[in-house]
Every structure is written in C-alpha cells, then in structure tokens.
Amino acid sequence: MNKVFSTILYIYSLILVNQMAFALEYKLPEDNSRLIGEITKHTVVKGEFFQQLAQRYNVGLLALMEANPGVDPLLPKEGTELVIPTQMILPYGKHEGIVINLSELRLYYFDNAKQTVNVFPVGIGKIGNATPKLISEITEKRTNPNWFPTVDKRKEHFATHGVELPRMVKAGPNNPLGDYAMRIGRSTYLIHGTNQRFGIGMRASSGCIRMNPEDIEWLFKQADSGTKVKIIDQPIKMTYLTPSQRMIEIHSPLSLSEDDKPSLYPLSSGVKSFIGDNPKDLEALDKIIKQPKGLPVKF
C-alpha cells in the first residue's frame, strides 16, 4: 500500500478531477449472507486514468488499483476491461449507524428503517497518525467548521513548507475540513470533507476520516447527533451464500511503519473455522492472501 503513494501524488499533480460521483446505495441482504452489490466492468476509453474513474464510480483509488493489478493507473491501455469494486461483503458485527473498516478504506452508513446501506470511500490516518479503532457516536455537527491544527501538525507543515500555520484556519477554500464536520465522541477525531480530492481512498490524513465533498454533505444530512460510530479493522471478510457455498474478500493489511511488512498470518480463529483444514482450501486461501484484490471470490 505504501509503494504506490508516490505514484498517487503524481496523479493528483497532473489534473484536478471535477466529476461528480454517484452514491453507492445497496439493499441489505434478506437472507443470511452479507454479500451486497454486483461487480461493475468498465472498458477504458482513450485519455481515461484511474483517479478519474475512481471519482466517477465513487470508489477508492487504492481499491481500484488493488482490483486491477498490473494495469498502469496513469496510462491504462485503451480497450482494457477494468473491474470496478462495487461488490463487497459487509463487515462482521452489528450493522447500525456508521461503520468504518480501515483496511478497506470504506465507510458504511446503515439505514435500518429503509433496510439500506450506503458505502463511501474514505481517507484515513497515514503512518504515524493512524486512525484508532473505537466504538463511539457522533457528538457534534458543524457546517463551515474552523480548523484548529494540532501542535504536531503545525510543526509538520512548517518542516515541509517552511510556512507556519495559524492556530485557527477559518472556514473557506483553504480549510482542509471542507464544508462539514462531525465529531466522534469526545475525541479530536472528525468525519469531515475536504477542500481538494487528494487523499480519498488512501492513508493520507492526520487521523481523521476524510470524505468527498458530496459524500460528507449527504452523510451530514442523514446522521444525527447520537448516531453510533464503529471503527474496525477487518482485512478479511467472509460470508456463506448457501450452507455449501462460501465467499471471502481479502484486503491488504495496514502497515504500522514505513518498514513494516504486515501479514495476515497467523489466521484468526474465525478465519480458521470458516476455511477448515482441507489442504486445497488452505492453498487457495494462501494464493489470495499473497495478492489480495479486495474483491469477493467464491471459495
């Protein structure tokens, strides 16, 4: 996940994408499975590139790259058929309020009255400023929020740019929080918008959850104060379609440092129970783990 960061920075320096994305809303499964959506296919047209397509389909840039290994994200060959990751397995746990799964860089908003779930790509904390796992709720909502950068953030900004950040940045085009912000519990962590497209579907924030402007606007209107928020880290998600048909979805685990090479081994007891001890199944699982695509596959 870290190796592609410099490439992604270059993508954003090339062009600002202004296409409006569409929200991904799914009906919750009526059976006992947790599989939602269908895979979308896209044939590359001359001049298209991954950031443009990620914005169009409202998926994360890293998710799109992971689903299409070997394809140049800057110059995908015209006529190439891409897989758009619009099918997924819901995370394990209670499906209510807001659930953010760090490994897949996605936010889920469950509307149990409508029996729907909306799914959005998000930016999360970069290495050294990791977004914590937690169970909490929305305690504060602000439109046009002011930004109060932390001491560490001001030091980092000065070291990088040679310019001091003010103690408060007023709402406006220079405010990285965008037009909407929601506080998680009593912490300093926010779910907020952005004044640029950079960092959505990536590890690029100082720990907050960053969303596309149109996505946070929608979520802000739906999620009241008191809405439950759960931040989890589930790189492996599983479900049964039938008693004899299984599906598994695997994402790259998060690095803890620049030199960290995280592994999904040893497997959790839940994964072991799901897979069983058949050598062929274990071999198939190992192949997926070695090159995860972040897509549900039959198992």
Cite the active site residues.
Answer: 192, 208
112 Cβ contact list (under 8 Å, min separation 6): 95, 96
276 Cβ contact list (under 8 Å, min separation 6): none
H or E stretch at 43 = strand 40-43
CA separation for the pair 110, 276 (Å, rounded): 31
Secondary structure class of 110 (helix, strand, coil): strand
**215, 24 Cβ separation under 8 angstroms:** no
**215, 120 Cβ separation under 8 angstroms:** yes
CA separation for the pair 141, 145 (Å, rounded): 9
192 Cβ contact list (under 8 Å, min separation 6): 145, 177, 178, 180, 181, 182, 208, 209, 210, 211, 216
Q: What angle do CA 239, 219, 95 make, to 5 degrees?
A: 25
Secondary structure class of 274 (helix, strand, coil): helix
Q: What are phi and psi of 191, to 5 degrees?
A: -100, 115
The DSSP result for 55-109, as a single string, is HHHT--HHHHHHHSTTS-SSSPPTTPEEEE--EEEPPSS---EEEEETTTTEEEE
